[in-house]
Amino acid sequence: MNMQAKPTLRELSYAEAIREAMDIALSQDERVILMGEDIGVYGGAFQVTGDLVEKYGTDRVMDTPISELGGAGIAVGAALTGLRPIFEFQFSDFAALAMEQIVNQAAKVRYMLGGAVSVPLVMRFPAGSGTGAAAQHSQSLEAWLGHVPGLKVVQPSTPEDAKGLLLAALEDPDPVMIFEHKILYKMKGPVPEGYYTTPIGKAAIRRTGKDVSIIATSIMAQKAMTAAETLAGEGIDAEVIDLRTVRPMDRETVLASVRKTGRLLCVYEGVKTLGVGAEISAMVAESDAFDFLDAPIIRLGGAESPIPYNPELEKAVVPQVPDILDAARGLLKGRI
């Protein structure tokens, strides 16, 4: 019997896994180029691109001027000519400066030209709070871009998915926005060697359970897992779903979990109002899974506030493990 060997797993950091994915892509496909501010000799604002410029040269790893709009426009143009650019923003917040190119060009060109062209563009956004970078460098804006038809939006929460989703994004003919939480860059975990992809649009069931469904994104999936272990010690069996992809969202996995547990807690770092949790809630409310609910849906998102600089206030405005615990306990005990 022919047995296929399983890929070797190594411990890599989230940042190392992303760098390895880009290294593999650059080595295997001459159409792949990296673009962004200070990604060359400096190695990127968070040192993710590292020394790739030394390996592939400045024709493949290109520093762009300090103009997000201009750099994004060049990346869109490069994709239209047949290249496969990976464009890095120093901070996800700076997407605001490039929304014309992202929303009005990258997302719409294929539609407006009747499918005659595609925009195989990957954009990487270091996102989220926890680094003391204050209001203009700490936001979670995935719901902004998830609102736009024509874009795919992913949020890897593990090193394995950070690599696999990036490689999957490079195979996609349409623009893919990857939001990488800055706190996760140093997190380590098992990552398969070589080339593999993680499917875009498919959530991961990180923990099975029967009492409450915790649907989480990005770093909140890690916090939800920590909370679930504590809840298990209290006799509460939580199921943790790592959404992984904001658009397209994995409807089937979410609804199946809610039908099983009858309780839904959505946990995400972006501002609660009009956030990812609102879409999850509406998806459940508009389906037959609504009839299985034994308690109201709870959205646990960011506060109605810019991210503060003060470290204690910074923690206070986004969900933390104790907040997840309190919300889950309340759902089970009928306090909510």
Active site (catalytic) residues? 68, 137
CA proximity to 33, closest of 75, 80, 77: 75
CA-CA-CA-CA torsion for 161, 165, 168, 172, nearest 10 degrees?
A: 160
Sequence letter at residue 248: P
* Helix, strand or coil, per DSSP, at residue 198: coil
Is the backbone peptide bond immediately before 248 cis, with ω within 30 degrees of 0? Answer: yes
The rounded distance, in Å, linking the Cα atoms of 159 and 181 is 11
Residue 205, CA distances (Å) to 43, 215, 219, 293 in order: 34, 9, 15, 20
213 contacts: CB under 8 Å, gap ≥ 6? 238, 239, 241, 254, 257, 258, 260, 261, 263, 264, 265
Q: What is the CA radius of gyration of the chain?
A: 20
Residue 330, CA distances (Å) to 127, 292, 297, 333 in order: 30, 18, 11, 5
The kind and range of the H/E element at 164 are: helix 159-171
